């Protein structure tokens, strides 16, 4: 069945959890015969998947909705649909500001895809939507696929809105996860990335995160496993052991540090000290000297003095992360930290942000440069315009001029040159 007159577009703001949910929704829509629009102008179903983590993310949603409403003014048959964390947090505020939204649903809405389909002017409603295995019902030919293994978060880091918009942490049934992984692999997936706000606290009956990984690793035609995000208070020796023993698990870990000042870490309710964090880095590197470690840092948290900031900067210089995301603290309503005055000026936050970014870019560029003239094991992920886009086990992108046969294959590439975020290689 095709609905040639219907075309959807999904704009996604936020984390990989949102990306993955948008992907699932796109599959359901495509499965119902709706085509994917290439531009906003071409679409008559406009879906916005929102994020609330920083004020900036919410601003972005507001300006997108402004554009969508202008399109709807010209063509009233356009449907505007808003989903995700911001739709959970402030639905009334969004509806008040944008009166032409057709449907808004938060993260707790059940059967979201079906409700969206019901809204659409099909000549005939699609009948047989498979409810099981939503993520696997179509083969989009993706070599790398994400799977959400848990939802919500119980950690209540004092700055963070996620526990409020995503609710209590729940680990999904491991048998369901296994089934999904197996069908993905049967459909050609070579790399699976496990997602959760804190994958280290995954627990379903007897199955904890390390056990889950070792079970997934047994799927024969699967080449690689990655996961994110980790929490320093929960990362344990079992995980380090399985990472170092199991060759399918990529030796890359995203371990958000947030700050290196114990005073700030305590105020953030992170439940670890900097010493504990450093110890984890030491243990990871002792077990796997080649491991790549990336992190998140927040600058300008309330009460962060120049000295506290320098502690973080020095830690970054010492640890030498492969990559790093740095964020300016953004006060979020209802969080614990919102009760403390947001006392670092915007100018100072911007300054600290740029100092850290400059430092970390230099480190990351050096690590990339050291890979030139070495052979790296890569997996071919995408093939476009005669160029294969592949990724090293440490999660760096490599562009290789070659043919399509390397798509989905893991092989050694010779690295010829490097930029901070991408490497250029050839097959020798």
Check residue 332 for interaction with ligand SAH (CB under 6 A). yes
Instruction: Name residues whose C-beta falls within 8 Å of residue 270's C-beta, 6 or more positions apart in sequence.
Output: 157, 232, 233, 258, 259
Q: Is 57 exposed, middle or buried (0-12, 13-18, 19+ CB in 10 A)?
A: buried
- Write each residue from 195 to 214 as x if it is in contact with ligand SF4 (CB under 6 A), else as -, in one continuous string: --xx----------------
Given a contact cutoff of 8 angstroms between Cβ atoms, the answer to whether 10 and 49 are in contact is yes
Tell me which H or E stretch contains 244: helix 237-245
Which listed option, ligand F3S, ligand SAH, ligand SF4, none, makes contact with residue 291 (CB within 5 to 8 Å by class)? none
- Write each residue from 213 to 252 as x if it is in contact with ligand SF4 (CB under 6 A), else as -, in one continuous string: ------------------x---------------------
Given a contact cutoff of 8 angstroms between Cβ atoms, the answer to whether 363 and 320 are in contact is yes
CA dist., res. 187 & res. 354, Å (int): 43
**Binds ligand F3S by CB under 6 A, chosen from 34, 113, 165, 228:** 165
Instruction: Using DSSP, state whether 51 is helix, strand or coil.
Output: coil
Shortest Å, Cβ 57 to ligand SAH: 10
Could you tell me how many residues make up the chain?
428
Check residue 160 for interaction with ligand SF4 (CB under 6 A). yes
**Binds ligand F3S by CB under 6 A, chosen from 6, 61, 85, 212:** 85
CA dist., res. 26 & res. 19, Å (int): 10
Given a contact cutoff of 8 angstroms between Cβ atoms, the answer to whether 227 and 212 are in contact is no
Which listed option, ligand F3S, ligand SAH, ligand SF4, none, makes contact with residue 156 (CB within 5 to 8 Å by class)? ligand SF4
Check residue 257 for interaction with ligand F3S (CB under 6 A). no
Check residue 162 for interaction with ligand F3S (CB under 6 A). yes
Check residue 330 for interaction with ligand SAH (CB under 6 A). yes
Given a contact cutoff of 8 angstroms between Cβ atoms, the answer to whether 252 and 226 are in contact is yes
CA dist., res. 296 & res. 368, Å (int): 19
Between 10 and 160, whose beta carbon lies closer to ligand SAH?
A: 160
- Write each residue from 152 to 191 as x if it is in contact with ligand SAH (CB under 6 A), else as -, in one continuous string: -------xx-x-----------------------------
CA dist., res. 316 & res. 301, Å (int): 17
CA dist., res. 82 & res. 85, Å (int): 10
Between 34 and 160, whose beta carbon lies closer to ligand F3S?
A: 160
Which residues of this protein are in contact with ligand F3S, per CB under 6 A? Answer: 14-15, 17-18, 51-53, 85, 161-162, 165-166
Which residues of this protein are in contact with ligand SAH, per CB under 6 A? Answer: 53-54, 159-160, 162, 197-198, 229, 231, 256, 258, 296, 298, 327, 329-330, 332
């Amino acid at each position: 069945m095709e609905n040639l007159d219907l075309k959807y577009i999904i704009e996604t703001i936020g984390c990989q959890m949102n990306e993955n949910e948008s992907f699932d929704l796109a599959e359901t829509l495509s499965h119902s015969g709706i085509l994917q629009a290439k531009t906003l102008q071409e679409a008559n179903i406009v879906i916005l998947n929102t994020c609330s983590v920083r004020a900036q993310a919410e601003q972005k949603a507001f300006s997108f909705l402004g554009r969508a409403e202008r399109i709807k003014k010209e063509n009233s048959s356009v449907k505007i649909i808003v989903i995700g964390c911001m739709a959970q947090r402030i639905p009334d505020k969004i509806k008040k500001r944008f009166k032409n939204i057709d449907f808004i649903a938060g993260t707790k809405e059940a059967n979201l895809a079906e409700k969206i389909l019901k809204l659409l002017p099909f000549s005939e409603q699609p009948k047989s939507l498979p409810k099981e295995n939503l993520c696997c019902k179509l083969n989009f030919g993706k070599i790398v696929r994400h799977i959400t293994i848990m939802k919500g978060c119980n950690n209540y880091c004092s700055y963070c809105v996620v526990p409020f918009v995503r609710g209590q942490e729940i680990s999904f049934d491991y048998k369901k996860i296994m089934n999904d992984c197996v069908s993905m692999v049967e459909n050609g997936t070579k790399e699976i990335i496990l997602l959760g706000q804190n994958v280290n606290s995954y627990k379903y009956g007897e199955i904890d995160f390390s056990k889950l990984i070792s079970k997934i690793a047994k799927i024969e035609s699967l080449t690689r496993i990655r996961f994110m995000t980790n929490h320093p208070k929960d990362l344990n020796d079992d995980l380090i052991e399985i990472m170092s023993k199991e060759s399918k698990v990529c030796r890359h870990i995203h371990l958000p540090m947030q700050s290196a000042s114990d005073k700030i870490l305590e105020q953030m309710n992170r439940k670890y000290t900097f010493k504990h964090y450093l110890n984890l880095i030491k243990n990871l590197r002792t077990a796997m000297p080649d491991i790549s470690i990336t992190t998140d840092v927040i600058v300008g948290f309330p009460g962060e003095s120049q000295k506290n900031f320098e502690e973080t900067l020095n830690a970054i210089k010492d640890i030498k992360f492969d990559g790093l995301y740095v964020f300016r603290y953004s006060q979020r309503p209802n969080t614990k930290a919102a009760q403390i005055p947001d006392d670092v000026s915007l100018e100072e936050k911007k300054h600290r942000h740029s100092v850290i970014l400059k430092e970390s870019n230099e480190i990351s560029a050096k690590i990339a440069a050291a890979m030139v003239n070495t052979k790296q094991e890569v997996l071919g992920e995408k093939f476009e315009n005669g160029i294969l886009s592949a990724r090293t086990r440490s999660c760096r992108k490599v562009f290789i001029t070659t043919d399509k046969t390397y798509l989905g294959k893991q092989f050694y590439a010779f690295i010829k040159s490097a930029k901070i975020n991408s490497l250029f290689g050839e097959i020798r």
